[in-house]
Structure 1
Amino acid sequence: MGEVNHSTVTEFILTGLTEKPELQLPLFLLFLGIYVFTVVGNLGMITLIGLSSSLHTPMYYLLSSLSLIDLCNSTVITPKMLISFVTENNIISFPECMAQFYLFCAFAISECHMLAAMAYDRYVAICHPLLYHVTVSPQVCCWMVAGVCSMGLVGATAHTVCLLRVLFCKANAINHYFCDLFPLLELSCSNTSINEVVGLSFSAFNVFLPTLAIFTSYIFIIASILRIRSTSGRSKAFSTWSSHISAVAVFFGSVAFMYLQPSSVSSMDQGKVSSVFYTIIVPMLNPLIYSLRNKDVKVALNKVLEKNFLMK
């Protein structure tokens, strides 16, 4: 029985993004709109890719997987956050908090590695176009997505198991809008040095490894694009790659700012703002980035809309 969690805290209070009363309603309406846009955008992207035979390629299979991850990640975080704007005390039970933390970790880590897989896909498509359908076959795509999900589950399990060993017997007000690692560790009444080391180590692995893979692919992509003689060829190659740059920059920048520094150095208020980007803003932006900057998606969307209107 000595191995059982001895936490005397049965529930936590999420303080939310801000405690200023005059900002509660405007922020509620803002983030409600963002969440609706996120759900519609990601579900729309998944549906469009599923309905359009022209988009049944490895690139869009990975993109639909990214949309599913974004949708799930946003759904784990945003609804509970919205409650904090309309209630005096946004209470979350200990099991719910651990479940939210686990799911958040799984989807966030999966997104890191999914962006790396998409970078590899673009590298093969631009640098080795003749071998693309052999190198990135449907079977390879399935294995990549399975690997991405496995990395997410392993990382989330490691973080959560370490967190369950921590004793919570002090204040129960989490200075955040969801159950995140460092805000939870601030409430601990036991030694959290191991948690911080594990947290920083896994965060470094899940940020630096995908980032290294992404930037390595970028170097080869840029070199390959510069060797293309025709202006139209360069423009087409760059257009299929530029949207990925935008998604990577926003996501990894905000994640690195939040997690790749000790909790003693980082500010929780700054951390909240940074967290908003990768938990709420990025899931909304990704469908927008990949649709507005992608001609294939625009053409497929027009065909689906025309087909539905003609049927009516």
Structure 2
Amino acid sequence: MALTQKTVLIVYAHQSLGSFNEAVRDEATKELSKQGYRVIVSDLYAMNFKASATKSDIIGDLKNSELFQYGEETMHAWREGCLSEDIMAEQRKVKEAELIIFQFPLYWFSVPAIMKGWMDRVLTQGFAFSLEKMYNNGIFKDKKAMLSFTTGAIESMFRPDGINGDINVTLWPLQNGTLHFCGFQVLAPQIFWSPAHCPAEVRTAMLKQWRERLKGLLAEKCLTFAPCEWFGLSFEKGFLLQPEVKEEQKSNAYGITTGHHLGKLLPPDNQTKAQLTDEELVSNRLHTQMAVTTHIM
């Protein structure tokens, strides 16, 4: 019996042919195809994808024509199969994909408007999330997603002491508030720092590093988020962190995540690197101790 070919969806937003973003996208397409994946690219500008979330996204009568509420209406339309065809086409791609890569230039510390429109219109309530199914219990908990983007700023500008502030804080709304909220296992972002201001050989090295990462991308560990089970999941409990969890966290010098910092220091690299498990930390310490002992002997 033949195995079903696995799918990767690249949601791509750059207007120019020959851009560095295009080169990054093409490297991903080439390498993942070589690994046997079916790669689908949604080139949003080429598709002239509609960025605005409006009534025209719903075919037929509205549930409440007197007070239009986009979230409620699109949830109802999704259930009835009455969303516009461009939305349903993208939702079919999402359903097929094991991994979604969002490839874009960073605009105003976020995604370009056309990609934000894709998120607003495609990730509808019911299809991508519900109150009962979100975060680590989310609808897409068996899928992976990641951000791959270029910046105009150099890396030091996005450090904790840099003028733009910590990149982990910048990434929290997208990676936690959109991707993880829908249940995606979020891979560490691929950040290409200021390629427009780099020499050609540096850009070539960036692409080589990306190509190497792609070889083991889907086997990578994901970013760490606070699980739903740590919270009181009801309006009565306010969806707040459980008292016993807060008690357990008291002795930790760092907060749980970038967003759940509990007034403490932010955990380093929480939104940019997969964190080691306790077992791996112990193993690393043992290896270090053995190396030091061997060196002394």
Say whether the fold is shared (TM-score over 0.5).
no
Which structure carries more relative contact order (alpha carbon 8 Å, separation 6+)?
1
What is the TM-score when the length of structure 1 is the normalising length? 0.25
What is the TM-score when the length of structure 2 is the normalising length? 0.26
More strand by share: 2
